[in-house]
Amino acid sequence: MQFWDYFTHHQWAKSQPELRREVKAVEVGPFYAWYLSQIASRTLASTGRRLEEVDPFTPSLLNLERDWSLAGRPYYNLWPSLLPALSRLKLDADASLFTLPLDRLLLRFPKTGNPLQWEHGGHTWSVRTVLCENSRLAHDTRPGAPAVLVREGEEPPETVRGLTFWIDAGEDMLGQPVAADGPGVLRRLMYKHLVCVEGHSIEWSFEKIPAHPSTELGLIYPMEIVQAVARIVCTLCVMADDPQIVEPVVLKDDEQKYERTLDPALVEKARRRGNHGWHVGKSIEVVPHLRAASPAALYWTGEGRKVPKIRFRRGTVVHRRRLTAVPTGFEEDDEPHDPAPPAAGES
């Protein structure tokens, strides 16, 4: 199974002949400080306004890319058998209970068998990756303005906790599909956030947070696709550490040996080769007649049954393995080898 990749602006810059020499040896933190300053100065010169006033999305995305890279580029591979159940699951639990297992996380969708597809402009589109994070949101009173991501050291007067995510469907800056993950093509992403406030559900965010006007530009994302992505992000927040669901990535030649031995040395071997990831749903088979019924369900566990967990009904899992560590993984920060870097997008 092949999964889509996400490549940052840092990796994109290193792939460009006119920038490669200048940025090749620049580390992640200094690169993003320089890159943002370049964009900000050009915006001020051309519009007379600050970058955040003209485009609040680009700084948020670039800051997330920086923080995700510095955190080790953690990612999950989402297998297609899992996606129909999670994308339809109704999440009526209190939104304050939803927190990603890592503060920044990349979700990689399969290149084949992905049910999150739709038609627009004569093309078939599908969700390729979702870069998401646990965030603090400062309320912005300007009409149509997105909530502002609060970074360490900032102290706005009022903030709420949220989940923010960026969807890449392979749209270039002109609104056309990128056929493959080739280098040199900047992407336009869809930004969304959910407010995780006690007393409200995730469903409440679907109903109460208005769409930004830029959603009408370029690729149109159907509401059911955006909500499906949001549900998947949220279910990963509360999915139990189930050894039948989440398993570490090992090298292909080592898969059978790992299934027999569960040797953690094979996981470390894969990480040394740059395969720092985890599979989610690889060992699940969704039987066709169960798809409509959704074999995934939200259960209440713990003391007083106040802790939500996602579990799968008996008969769904066809292989049993156990975890050797926390269900997280890391994607090695290497030179770009295939995919193109995404660019700032719109809500």
Do you know the residue count of the chain?
A: 347
Instruction: Decide the pairing of beta strands 342-346 and 187-195.
Output: parallel
Specify the pLDDT at position 180. 74
Q: H-type helices in the chain, by residue range? A: 9-15, 17-23, 28-47, 51-54, 57-70, 83-88, 202-208, 223-238, 255-261, 264-272
Residues linked to residue 278 through DSSP beta bridges, in sequence order = 76, 248
Q: State the CB neighbour count (10 A cutoff) for residue 324.
A: 17
Average pLDDT over residues 238-259: 83
- As given in the structure block, the two tokens for residue 292 are 């409509």
Specify the pLDDT at position 277. 83
Which contacts qualify for 25-32: CB closer than 8 Å, 24 or more apart? 28/66, 28/69, 28/70, 28/333, 29/66, 29/70, 32/62, 32/63, 32/65, 32/66
Q: How far apart are CA 150 and CA 160, in angstroms?
A: 10
Where along the chain do its domains lie? 9-237+332-346
- As given in the structure block, the two tokens for residue 287 are 């039987």
pLDDT at 153 over 60: no
Tell me if 341 sits within 8 A of 11, measured CB to CB.
yes
E-only strand ranges, 45-144: 75-78, 104-108, 117-120, 123-126, 129-138
pLDDT at 274 over 90: no
> How many percent of the chain have pLDDT more than 70?
75
Task: Say which residue, 318 or 191, is predicted with more confidence.
Answer: 191
Q: How far apart are CA 86 and CA 232, in angstroms?
A: 5
What does the pLDDT look like over 104-125, one tens digit per residue? 999 999 999 999 999 999 999 9
Average pLDDT over residues 86-94: 78
Average pLDDT over residues 68-91: 86
Residues linked to residue 221 through DSSP beta bridges, in sequence order = none
Tell me if 106 sits within 8 A of 76, measured CB to CB.
yes
Specify the pLDDT at position 94. 81
Of the listed ranges 24-33, 85-94, 183-192, 254-263, the least confidently predicted one is 85-94
Tell me if 279 sits within 8 A of 243, measured CB to CB.
no
pLDDT at 290 over 60: no
Specify the pLDDT at position 48. 92
- As given in the structure block, the two tokens for residue 172 are 């270039």
Tell me if 228 sits within 8 A of 116, measured CB to CB.
yes
Average pLDDT over residues 201-220: 76
Q: How far apart are CA 73 and CA 89, in angstroms?
A: 28
Task: Say which residue, 157 or 214, is predicted with more confidence.
Answer: 214
Instruction: Decide the pairing of beta strands 117-120 and 307-312.
Output: unpaired
CA–centroid distance for 88 within its chain: 18
Specify the pLDDT at position 127. 97
